[in-house]
A and B are shown apart, each in its own frame.
Chain A
Amino acid sequence: MKNNNQNTILKTEDLSIGYRSKKTETSIASGINLTLNKGELIGLVGGNGIGKSTLLRTLTNVQPALKGSVLLHGKTIESYDNLTLAKVLSIVLTETIASKNLSVFELIALGRQPYTNWVGTLTTADANAINAAISQTNLESLKHKKCYELSDGQLQKVMIARALAQDTDLIILDEPTTHLDMYHKAYILKWLKKLVEQTGKTILFSSHEIDLAIQLCDRLIVMKTDSIVCDAPCNLISQGVFNNLFPDDLIVFDTATGSFKVKK
């Protein structure tokens, strides 16, 4: 293995995910062993209802693991308090923000909250981080616009800029390409790839754009009912992982082009 421990940002050990109510335990997936390394773009793919969101919720400490552990920088994620965690891990969710009356700049500036004082005053360091995030995302022209004036694609970029301003080693995005047209789906994912190369951050995102993810990601996590595998896209293709990802009555995976085709 070429990556040593120092490069490991997040690691799961024999992780079981699912929901726990008072009496019953509903396990969605178990025995998950993943490693996310520094400077990688990792895609999480799988069918609807397979548990992608549950996995992301467990990795971000929104819901507890049923078994096993999530290690962030070698420490279990439960041992982080909210504020320390906010300096290591930032998230972009599918839900829309509560108030769209914020300006683009104000929204991105909120990414600095873990670092600012009790009333949220921005220091020079904060302003630098915000401006860096804005220039990395090419949002200068939209800086003073209100969020309700933005298109879905623009708002998604702003939300990612906010995560960048939070200056964390790991950014986790839940389906960043939903509601976007084909061009903007490719645009956002390509641009995530560029961000990883420029900033050395680790980005994990879930997506239904398997074709695009195969072309752009360093590694892919493929969730199936019976197994979870994580490897470089070309290895996954040669192992035939995608062949039985979906029921084969409608679409089939074409190994030559690395994409799904509708059955004629």
Chain B
Amino acid sequence: MNPQKTYTVTFLILLLLVVLLFLVNVSLGSVSIPFSDIFNSFFADASQYTNKEYIIQNYRLPKALTAILVGSGLGISGLLMQTLFRNPLAGPFVLGITSGASLGVALVIMGSSVIGGVFTAVLISKWSLVIAASLGSFIVLLTVLIVSSKVRDTMAILIIGLMFGSITSAIVSVLSYFSSAEELQQYIFWGFGSLGDLQWNELAVFASIYAIGLLFSIASIKALNTLLLGENYAKSLGLDIKKSRLIIIIATSLLAGTITAFAGPIAFIGLAIPHITRLVFNTANHKILIPAVFLFGAIIMLICDSIAQLPTSDYTLPINAITSLIGAPVVIWLLIRKRKMVF
């Protein structure tokens, strides 16, 4: 069988699933909205929206789009990390990128009580959270990178990533001890993760940074494939290791950083999606994996968000809990079935 042909079929099925789940996601919620209303809402006059049309255009569409960006972006950044660090356990969360973002956000939300004055001048808007989260994740990733150039052992790098997580939670504990109840609550809610908070203009900024991260990822496809042989072989094949590493790190911190900034720390997706994709597509070629991870990430995130909505009820569960509750058993099941975890 021609492998190229089977890939095309699988890709079409996945794409169809994304479209279908996107419509289901927009349609389900505290009020169910039929598919026909979704289409009609695009042609309605914005000043004369009915309630349903308003919900679709200003709440559900941005949320579904955010779900696609978050799922695909975290999946791709996880894939990049796993190949770069030659470790199937790597992911934005394990390497402390998410911790870095959390620390940045904690400093902005709760730091004003402790440090005082410095941050109070800056309004705690979504934008300051976004900038803080991006900076935090970038700094942690850069540190991990510097350490990884000195330490050859990849296990050590993972442990260092976990240590960053511990340091972060320790600093957050200190900060929360001194901060007010409201600030604490704001931070905890950020930690639950949320896909539904974005306005169209915020989504536009999110999507733009995401797009740059995606471009960097696509530009790294050849380097990633070469890195599958290990760094010494990659160098012997003419790869500029330092440059490629930097591009991969920038791509990851742009993707994981902005996603954490806009949607909170979403657990599990970054680690799991690449494995699910590899098991289904049975390839290590990043030319196939990157688009496949994109589609799988979008699908899983749309499913998780639809479940978190608790259809026809007014409650919304924290998305962060759902991603782990739904995703972790899937990975366990896949691994038991295939009995191996290759990357």
A85 nearest CB neighbor, chain B only: B238
Interface digits, B300-343 against A, CB 8 Å rule (1 contact, 0 not)? 00000000000000000000000000000000000000001011
Per-residue interface assignment for chain B, residues 229 to 259, with 1 indicating a CB less than 8 Å from any chain A CB and 0 otherwise:
1101101111110000000000000000000
Q: In the complex, which residue of chain B has the Cβ closest to the Cβ of A116?
A: B222
Q: Does B63 contact A (CB under 8 A)?
A: no
Range for the number of chain B residues in contact with chain A: 20 to 34
Please state if A99 and B232 are interface contacts (CB–CB under 8 Å): no
**With contact pairs A110-B228, A113-B222 given, residues A99 and B284 touching in the complex (Cβ less than 8 Å):** yes
Contact bitstring B83-96, A, C-beta under 8 A = 1, else 0: 10010000000000
Determine if A119 and B221 form an interchain contact, defined as CB atoms under 8 angstroms apart. Answer: yes
CB distance from A204 to the nearest CB of B (A): 14
Give A107's nearest chain B residue, CB to CB. Answer: B229
A235 to B237, CA, bound (A): 37
Taking chain A's interface residues, is the majority helix, strand, or loop, or is none over half, making it mixed?
loop
B287 beta carbon closer than 8 Å to chain A: yes
B238 close to A114 (CB less than 8 A)? yes
Which A74-123 residues have C-beta < 8 A from chain B?
82-87, 89-91, 93, 95-103, 106-107, 110-111, 113-114, 116, 118-120
Is A60 part of the binding interface, using a Cβ–Cβ cutoff of 8 Å?
yes
List CB contacts (< 8 Å) of B110-131 with chain A. none
Pair B239/A99 contact, Cβ less than 8 Å: no
Contacts of A91 in B (CB 8 A): 232-233, 236
Q: Contact between B233 and A93 (Cβ–Cβ < 8 Å)? A: yes
Q: B229 contacts which chain A residues (CB < 8 A)?
A: 97-99, 107, 110
A111 to chain B: which residues have CB within 8 Å?
Answer: 237
Whether the pair A148, B225 counts as a contact (CB closer than 8 A) is no
Taking CB as reference atom, which chain B residue is nearest A172?
Answer: B236
Does A62 sit at the interface, judged by CB under 8 A? Answer: yes
What would 8 A/B residue contacts be, using CB atoms closer than 8 Å?
A: A83-B238, A91-B232, A99-B228, A99-B343, A101-B228, A106-B285, A148-B340, A148-B342
B278 at the interface (CB under 8 A from A): yes
**Bound form: Cα–Cα A106–B222 in Å:** 12
Instruction: Output the nearest chain A residue to B342 by Cβ-Cβ distance.
Output: A101
Whether, in the assembled complex, B151 has its beta carbon less than 8 Å from a beta carbon of chain A, the answer is no
Pair B222/A119 contact, Cβ less than 8 Å: yes
Closest Cβ of chain B: how far from A102's Cβ, in Å? Answer: 5
- Which residue of the partner chain, among B221, B240, B284, B340, contacts A102 with CB atoms under 8 Å? B284
A169 smallest CB distance to B (angstroms): 14
Q: Which residue of A lies closest to B286 (CB)?
A: A120
A166 at the interface (CB under 8 A from B): yes
Considering the chains assembled together, what is the distance between the CA atoms of A55 and B146 in angstroms?
29
Residues of B at the A interface (CB closer than 8 Å) are 83, 86, 218-219, 221-222, 225-230, 232-233, 235-240, 278, 283-285, 287, 340, 342-343
Interchain CA distance A114-B232 in the complex, whole Å: 15
Known contacts A60-B236, A82-B239; A97 and B222 CB within 8 A of each other: no
Query: Cβ of A113 and Cβ of B230 under 8 Å apart?
Result: no
Looking at the complex, which one of B219, B225, B232, B342 makes contact with A110 (CB distance below 8 Å)? Answer: B225
Asked if residues A90 and B236 are in contact (CB atoms below 8 Å), the reply is yes
Known pairs A86-B237, A93-B233, A113-B226; A98 contacts B86 (CB<8 A): yes
Among the listed A83, A97, A116, A118, which residue makes an inter-chain contact with B228, where contact means beta carbons less than 8 Å apart? A97
Q: Chain B residues near A82 (CB, 8 Å)?
A: 235, 238-240
Nearest Cβ on chain B to A72's Cβ, whole angstroms: 13
Are B239 and A113 within 8 A (Cβ)?
yes
Q: Is the CB of B239 within 8 A of A97?
A: no
Distance from B6 Cβ to chain A, minimum over Cβ atoms (Å) = 13
User: Are A97 and B236 in contact, CB atoms less than 8 angstroms apart?
Assistant: no
Q: How far is the CA of A148 from the CA of B343 in the complex (A)?
A: 11
Name the one of B221, B238, B284 contacting A87, with C-beta atoms under 8 angstroms: B238
- A120 & B221 in contact (Cβ 8 Å cutoff): yes
Task: Report Cα–Cα, A107/B86, bound state, in Å.
Answer: 16
A90 vs B83: C-alpha distance when bound (angstroms): 23
Q: Which of B232, B237, B239, B343 has the most CB of A within 10 A?
A: B237
Also in contact, A110 and B237, with CB within 8 A (given A98-B228, A102-B228): yes
A85–B229 alpha-carbon span in the complex (Å): 18
On whether the beta carbons of B238 and A86 are closer than 8 Å, the reply is yes
Assess whether B237 is in contact with A120, with CB atoms less than 8 Å apart: no
Is B232's CB under 8 angstroms from A95's CB? yes
The CA-CA distance from A166 to B343 in the complex, in Å, is: 24
Cα distance A127–B118 in the bound complex, in angstroms: 61
Nearest-neighbour CB distance to chain B for A235, whole angstroms, equals 32
- Output the nearest chain A residue to B235 by Cβ-Cβ distance: A82
| Chain A neighbourhood of B230, CB < 8 A | 95-98
Q: Which among B83, B221, B225, B278 has the greatest number of chain A C-beta atoms within 10 A? A: B225
